[in-house]
Chains A and B, each alone.
Chain A
Amino acid sequence: MVPLSAYVAVSAVLFIIGLLGVVIRRNFIIVLMSVEIMLNAATINLVAFSHYLESMAGQLVALFIIAIAAGEAAIGLAIIIVVFRGKISTNVDEMNLLKW
């Protein structure tokens, strides 16, 4: 029987990895993948607590998150393609138009 703390630990580690990826990496695609890792960390958390509390609600929400993640990835990739066509680059630092 794996204790709840183990799940939470794995989830936390995954979340930190994703977070660092988002903050540190410059490649847009990597950043997008890191966001997916963070989403998965949250999903693991939900499933673990669902099991622990013996409630199906958490697992249901996990299913929703998977679906949303798919959609988000699709939109993210589409944005990357559009930006790449214009800039010939996937470097996040070169995309700084969102300012004054």
Chain B
Amino acid sequence: MTDLLIKLIPLFPLLAVILNGFAGKRYSHDVAHRLAWGSVGLSFLCTIGVFADILQTGTPHEVIAYQWIFGGDLTINLAYLVDPLTCIMLLVVTGVGLLIHIYSVGYMHGEDGFTRFFTYMNLFMVSMLLLVMGNNYVVLFIGWEGVGLCSYLLIGYYYDKVSAAKAASKAFVVNRIGDAGFLVAIFLIFINFKTLDYTKVFAQVSQLSPEMATAIALCLLVGAVGKSAQLPLYTWLPDAMEGPTPVSALIHAATMVTAGVYMIVRNHAIFDLSPTAMTIVGVIGGLTALFAATIGLVQTDIKRVLAYSTVSQLGYMILGCGIGAYTAAIFHLMTHAFFKALLFLSAGSVIHALSGEQDIRKMGGLSSKIPWTYRLFLIGTIAIAGIPPLAGFWSKDEILAHAFTHHHYLLYGMAAIGALLTSFYMFRLIYLTFYGRSRMDHHTEEHVHESPMVMVVPLMALGVLSIVGGFLGFPPEHGWLHQFLAPVAGTGEEHAAGTGLVLMLMMFATGIALLGWGLAHYFYSVNLSAPDHLAAKFQAAYRILLNKYYVDELYDLLWVEPTKKLGLLLDWFDRNVIDGLVRAVAQLADLGAAGATWMEKYVIYSGINVVGYGNHLAARQWRQLQSGMVHHYAAIIVAGLFLLAVIIQLIMQL
């Protein structure tokens, strides 16, 4: 029964993809969106069924849906492994996915390509489900590439907008770098273990030499860095905000970008073998968390601020992986999915209300005009800022506490400063968007309206999850989530940190978050000239932050432009050298053909013509034989008869 449910989970959205993709134009938008979110809803129900089963029995399920590649010692199945880790991922993906699908019905209402949007979204769901459910690296990789493709398609959803098309190809190309590393890791795993099934690989992982473990772990990390937008491959994620807002919420905040975290946790057995790789993972996570938060301080596009905060939060998760706090990383992944989806969707609601305006300098004073969006955005902000008792506090604090109690003080410092900045820029967003006086132009202001219920209700659900989601991991280190994930992520060695230290760290984290809030309040509510004043004072620093450390420009200079130049060079080479060769060969063939034609026309044909004309002449003579007179024929027959008789006579005599 559970096996059937597991098989059904990715099947429903796939069915919707096929229907909407091939026949979507035949029926109305109403049918299309019902199919889309209905299928995700059915998947969600199946997931709950599977979850209930695993919760009761605690045994992971391995289901082979289809024998795919087999022969020799290579067997690759389209098979699913559903254990507690997959369960959590499934619940997040289908649950948050369902809410975002429903929200999209309102948000995308009346857009061109409404059906196309939902087809891509469902295709994304299929890929993401394969990614988290696969029981081997090949299925994981299929899902991995599938979500990359859908990300590309959905970022480029407004394909007639040049910036969107460019952002889409940027995301795709940057992700390819990570995928190349991931592929190398898969090859290395296959060479070392002769199998790609998780269970078999992890069973014999201890035979791995430390160097090989480091190599595999680092290659996997390259994949995770690409997909989860870490330093130095994070540049695609802020640009990915060109897509519709539900896409940003679902793909570029809640699910796809967390695939890297999921992958590292899934492969933690390999990472555990290599302290070097773990250190690198932790440092990359910490640096990203801090680095992205600093950029987020000065951005003025509401979605871009959220994008940088996503990069930063993903940094926390990777940091958690790097210090061995896998459960905490997954916990933060889950709570982040709740509150970041909530934030993005509320931002979408704000943008919707302002008829497409995304610049926070042109907002302000919206709290009374769109009260529900305001309240929900505030919940999301408090959650992400890490103020108890909302979800973000518990998960983020757990990573921070783990870093501190395991003596990663540098990482703890980076993460703590990052947390301060997070709290600051998120409340900055609140103050600039919802408080103060309105900076909208008159026309926009007249049309401000609260979003329809179909958008607000999913927001409320996410808001509730953002408030209570943190209690799944309560009390810290021993919560329900930790016990549930223990078979997969390990319990983690017991550390000697006393309750007092934990409480102190919690209070410190809360203090940081409140300090961020206070600063934001001072800068954007009390002393309004302070931000400009500060920007003028530290003009160089401000400009660097505003231009995102010039990383894009640096990459352009270092990689993109040389690659383009190389492309042009290769184009020239192709046009002139290779095509030249091809043309020369063609000319030769042409010449040969002309020679052959002459030969045939004047030598071979003349020979054939001589034979033909000879026949013609001979026939002219021979046909005289046929007189048409019956008598002649009869006479010839008689003559022949006699001749035959004579010959037979002669033969008989011999």
Contacts and interface: CB of A to CB of B under 8 A. Distances in A.
Interface stretch (A43-51, A55-63, A92-100): A92-100
A96 B623 contact: no
Contacts of B623: 99-100
A100 to B, nearest CB: 4
B610 interface: no
Nearest to A22: B634
A19 interface: yes
A93 B631 contact: yes
B626 A23 contact: no
A99 B638 contact: no
A94 B629 CA distance: 8
Contacts of B628: 96-99
A99 B626 contact: yes
A31 interface: yes
A98 B623 CA distance: 12
B626 A31 contact: no
B652 interface: no
Nearest to A97: B628
A100 B624 CA distance: 8
A100 B625 CA distance: 9
A99 B631 contact: no
A25 to B, nearest CB: 9
A98 B625 CA distance: 12
A93 B629 CA distance: 6
Secondary structure at chain B's binding surface: helix, strand, loop or mixed?
A: helix
A56 B622 CA distance: 47
A23 B638 contact: yes
B629 A23 contact: no
B615 interface: no
Interface string B629-654: 11100110010000000000000000
Contacts of A31: 630
Contacts of B627: 96, 99
A95 B626 contact: no
Interface in A48-100: 92-93, 95-100
Nearest to A96: B628
Given A99-B626, A100-B626, A19 B638 contact: yes
Nearest to A94: B629
A54 to B, nearest CB: 25
B642 to A, nearest CB: 10
Between B626, B628, B638, the greatest number of chain A beta carbons within 10 A of the residue's beta carbon is seen for B628
B223 to A, nearest CB: 88
A92 B627 CA distance: 13
A31 B623 CA distance: 26
A19 B634 CA distance: 9
A82 to B, nearest CB: 16
Contacts of A100: 623, 626
Contacts of B631: 22-23, 92-93
Interface string A16-42: 000100110000000100000000000
B234 to A, nearest CB: 94
A33 B626 CA distance: 25
A22 B635 CA distance: 9
B638 A96 contact: no
A70 to B, nearest CB: 22
B616 to A, nearest CB: 13
Chain B CB count within 10 A is highest, among A31, A98, A100, for: A100
B629 A96 contact: yes
A100 B627 CA distance: 8
B634 to A, nearest CB: 5
Contacts of A93: 629, 631
Contacts of A96: 627-629
Nearest to A35: B634
Contacts of B635: 23
27 contacts: A19-B638, A22-B631, A22-B634, A23-B631, A23-B634, A23-B635, A23-B638, A31-B630, A92-B629, A92-B630, A92-B631, A93-B629, A93-B631, A95-B630, A96-B627, A96-B628, A96-B629, A97-B628, A98-B626, A98-B628, A98-B630, A99-B623, A99-B626, A99-B627, A99-B628, A100-B623, A100-B626
Interface of A: 19, 22-23, 31, 92-93, 95-100
Given A23-B635, A96-B627, A99-B628, 14 more contacts: A19-B638, A22-B634, A23-B631, A23-B634, A23-B638, A92-B630, A92-B631, A93-B629, A95-B630, A96-B628, A98-B626, A99-B626, A99-B627, A100-B623
Q: Which 10 A-B pairs have the closest CB atoms?
A: A99-B628, A96-B628, A100-B623, A99-B626, A98-B628, A22-B634, A92-B630, A96-B629, A23-B634, A23-B635
